[in-house]
Amino acid sequence: MSGFDSNPFADPVDLNPFQDASITQATQGGVNGIREYNPFSTTELKDRSDTTIPISAVSSQPAILQTSVEQSSQASAAAAAGQASLIKQQEELERKAAELERKEQELQNRTTQNAGVNENNWPPLPKFFPVKPCFYQDFEADIPEEYQRICKRMYYLWMFHSATLFLNVLACLAYFTVDSQYGVDFGLSILWLMLFTPVSFICWYRPVYKAFRSDSSFSFFFFFFVFFFQVAVYIIQTVGIPKWGNSGWITSISMINTNLAVAVVMMVVAGFFTVNAVLAVFLLKMVHSKYRRTGASFTKAQQEFSSNVLTNRTFQSAATTAAQGAFGRN
C-alpha cells in the first residue's frame, strides 16, 4: 500500500537510465564470455593477418564488364562484315554499270556504222578492180561479243561450202573423163558452183549476220526458213544421186570397179558434203539456242516486216507501178 501512500505532489525521483543493472553489466564486462570487438586493436590485426586475401587474387574486372567487352567485339565484327558486304555490292553495281555503258557505246557505234559511215569491204577486191565490194563486214564492230563466235562459224561454214562446190566440179570433171555420158553431172556441178555460192551468202549467211548485229526477229526467221532447205540440199548432195551433178556416196561407190582413182577423188568430195551436212545441223541448233536468248519472236518479226518492208520506197514504187498497170489494162 506504500505506493498509494506516496505524495503525488512530491518531486519526482531523479532516475538514471544508465544505472540499470543490465546496462551496467554489459558495459563492465563481456556477456557470456564474449568480449568487445575492436577492429583496430593490435590483437585483432595479429589474429587475422594470416587470412588476408591479396589484392592480386581478386579479379580486376567484374563479370558483367567482361560480357560487355565480348558483346562490343561481336558488334564490331558484325559491323565490319556488313561494311565488307556493302563494299562488295557497290563494286558489283559499278561493274554492271560499266558493262551497260560499254554495250550502249557498242550499240551507238553499230548505229553509226549502219548509217553508212563505213564503206563496203567485202569481198576484199583490189582497188584497181572494176567491181567494188558490195557488203560491209566487221565482226568486232558489228556483232556483240557473245555472238561473234557463232557468227564467225557460220562464215567459215559458208567458205567450206564454197570450197566443197569447187571440189565437186573437179570430181565431176574426172567423172566425165572416164565416161562421156556423165557430162550432165559436170555441167550441173558448174551451175551449182555459180548459183549456190552467191545465193547461200545472200540468203542464209547475211540474214544471220544481220540478225546478230541488230537483234532482228525477221532476219532470224528468214535465216531459219532458208537454212532448213540448205540442210536438205546438203543431204541430197551427200547421197549423190546420179545425173544430179553431185559427187556423193552413190556415184563414188559406183566408180570403184570402173576407175579406182576417180572413185577415191569422188569419195573425198562425198566426205566434204557429209561434213557440210553435219556442221549445218550443229550450227542450226546453236543459232536457235542463241535466238531463244535474244528475246526475238514471231510477233516482232511481223512488226519488223510491216515497218521495214512495207514502208520501203522501192517496194512502194514497185507496188504503185504494178497497180497503175493493172488499172490501166482494165
The tens digit of pLDDT for each residue in 207-260 reads 999 999 988 888 898 999 999 999 999 999 999 999 899 999 999 999 999 899
Please indicate, yes or no, if residue 233 is contained in any of the structural domains. Answer: yes
Say which residue the cell 510477233 belongs to: 299
Please indicate, yes or no, if residue 206 is contained in any of the structural domains. Answer: yes
pLDDT over 60 at 309, yes or no? no
**How far apart are the two ends of the chain, measured CA to CA in Å?**
167
Least confident of 57-66, 123-132, 221-230: 57-66
pTM for the structure as a whole: 0.60
Maximum separation of any 2 CA atoms in the chain, in Å? 180
Please indicate, yes or no, if residue 121 is contained in any of the structural domains. Answer: no
**Closest of 176, 194, 161 to residue 251, by C-alpha:** 176
pLDDT over 80 at 299, yes or no? no
Q: Can you state the angle between helices 206-214 and 145-178, rounded to 10 degrees?
A: 180
Q: Indicate the average pLDDT of the chain.
A: 78
CA–CA gap between residue 95 and residue 207 (Å, rounded): 33
Of residues 275 and 4, the one with the higher pLDDT is: 275
Share of the chain above pLDDT 70, in %: 63
Gyration radius of the chain's alpha carbons = 53
pLDDT over 50 at 58, yes or no? no
Q: Can you state the angle between helices 145-178 and 260-294, rounded to 10 degrees?
A: 160
Instruction: Please compute the mean of the pLDDT values over residues 101-121 and round it to a whole number.
Output: 67
Of residues 289 and 99, the one with the higher pLDDT is: 289
Q: How confident is the model at residue 65 (pLDDT cuts 50, 70, 90)?
A: very low
**Closest of 237, 219, 238, 235 to residue 151, by C-alpha:** 219
Please indicate, yes or no, if residue 111 is contained in any of the structural domains. Answer: no
Please indicate, yes or no, if residue 58 is contained in any of the structural domains. Answer: no
Please indicate, yes or no, if residue 73 is contained in any of the structural domains. Answer: no
Please indicate, yes or no, if residue 212 is contained in any of the structural domains. Answer: yes
Please indicate, yes or no, if residue 198 is contained in any of the structural domains. Answer: yes
Instruction: Please compute the mean of the pLDDT values over residues 103-108 and round it to a whole number.
Output: 70
- Residue 29's H or E segment, with its range, is none
Domains identified in the chain, total number = 1
For residue 248, give its domain range.
150-305
Least confident of 126-135, 154-163, 241-250, 258-267: 126-135
